Amino acid sequence: MLSRILVPMDDSDHAGHALAYALDNFPDAEVTVLHVVGVPSMLMGEAVGLALEDDMESAASERAEPVFERARELAAERDRDIDTVVGVGHPARNVLDRAEAYDTVVLGSHGADWNRATRRFLVGNVAETVLRRATVPVTVVR
């Protein structure tokens, strides 16, 4: 039986589906939602902006809050509680660094897209990396 599940979540529909899947299929498990901010981009915009904040921890928490609000709404619809944690940096690395503390990782097949031009290049990159390198079972949800 699975007792601890990590659900990496961004603002994509696939991430919401992954959280719903985890909540619906593992009713007795503790679910932790991880949102990673300061994601490196081609122009380093978000990462640089976060690094320039006076209180990086507060800024990261503030940027994660919309995703956590959505996650709490999904959990409340199922009469469930969730834990939340903020990561800073590269999403796949954050998931992999935390995965061993959980029984499984449940994540969306595709994350949020910046625009259509980058979609083909980036789609599924985090999910694929986690699936290949995680030391715990991984469920990828579409």
Domain extents for the chain?
Answer: 4-34+64-83+91-141
Does 12 score more than 80 pLDDT?
yes
Residue 23: predicted pLDDT: 98
pLDDT digits (tens, 9 = 90+) for 95-142: 999 999 999 999 998 766 544 444 444 446 889 999 999 999 999 998
Euclidean distance between CA atoms 109 and 61, whole angstroms: 24
Fold classified for 4-34+64-83+91-141: Rossmann fold (3.40.50)
Over pLDDT 90: what percentage of the chain?
65
Residue 121: predicted pLDDT: 46
Does 43 score more than 70 pLDDT?
no
Residue 52: predicted pLDDT: 47
Residue 54: predicted pLDDT: 55
